[in-house]
């Protein structure tokens, strides 16, 4: 089994992948809200018919912009980050169009990637600056997210290895 499989694909670890994602989401929401940035968390946009509920819908009234931000935690390879970003844009483009038509406000889809082994996608800084965070705040958020991603991935790996040890004993 590869690291990628253990940290991002093994069904046995799914609850911990979700914990990693939700922890990064919670840190991001706390950061946005403590900086006075309005956001909807895993909710539909009011007045827009849609089944989709992205991680965040951020309204920047100062810039008259709405941002659909979804958080991903792919394995640490550029190809995986690019694939996550492309899939996100494809998945949420219609929702962005519906929100833009409803609000008459430009709406875009972006992805924040904090990889399972702690890589911080270089595009994250621009995404977070664009929604209204300062460079200092983005740097602090990055450190927190990276630390948490690594810690949870470490727990995933340890749990998986102990499961393998249990299997070895059972088959011996």
Q: What is the pLDDT of residues 93-148, one digit of tens each?
A: 999 999 999 999 999 999 999 999 999 999 999 999 999 999 999 999 999 999 99
pTM of the complete model: 0.90
Q: Is the dihedral of CA 41, 46, 48, 51 positive or negative?
A: positive
Instruction: Judge contact between 7 and 117, C-beta under 8 A.
Output: yes
Which uninterrupted H or E stretch holds 58?
Answer: strand 56-60
Rounded to whole angstroms, the Cα distance separating 165 from 159 reads: 10
Which residues, other chains included, contact 58 with Cβ-Cβ below 8 Å and sequence gap of 6+? 32, 37, 38, 39, 66, 67, 68, 69, 131
Q: 164 pLDDT band (50/70/90 cuts)?
A: low
Question: Do residues 8 and 133 touch, judged by C-beta distance below 8 A?
Answer: no
Q: Are strands 56-60 and 38-41 parallel, antiparallel or unpaired?
A: antiparallel
How many whole angstroms from its chain centre is CA 85?
10
User: How many other CB atoms are there within 10 angstroms of residue 95's CB atom?
Assistant: 21
Instruction: Produce one character per residue of 61-70: b if its CB has 16 or more CB atoms within 10 Å, e if not.
Output: eeeebbbbbb
Q: What is the pLDDT of residues 58-82, one digit of tens each?
A: 998 888 999 999 999 999 999 999 9
- The DSSP code for 9 is T
């Amino acid at each position: 089994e590869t690291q990628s499989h253990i940290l991002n694909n093994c069904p046995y670890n799914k609850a911990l992948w979700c914990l990693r994602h939700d922890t990064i989401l919670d840190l991001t929401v706390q950061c946005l809200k403590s900086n006075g940035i309005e956001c909807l968390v895993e909710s539909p946009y009011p007045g827009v018919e849609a089944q989709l509920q992205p991680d965040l819908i951020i309204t920047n009234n100062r810039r008259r912009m709405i941002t659909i931000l979804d958080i991903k935690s792919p394995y640490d390879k550029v190809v995986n980050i690019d694939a996550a970003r492309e899939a996100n844009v494809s998945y949420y483009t219609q929702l962005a169009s519906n929100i833009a038509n409803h609000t008459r406000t430009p709406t875009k889809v972006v992805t924040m990637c904090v990889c399972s082994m702690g890589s911080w996608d270089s595009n994250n800084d621009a995404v977070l600056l664009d929604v209204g965070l300062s460079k200092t705040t983005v740097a602090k958020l990055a450190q927190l997210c990276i630390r948490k991603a690594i810690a949870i991935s470490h727990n995933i790996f340890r749990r998986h290895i102990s499961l393998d040890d249990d299997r070895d004993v059972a088959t011996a």
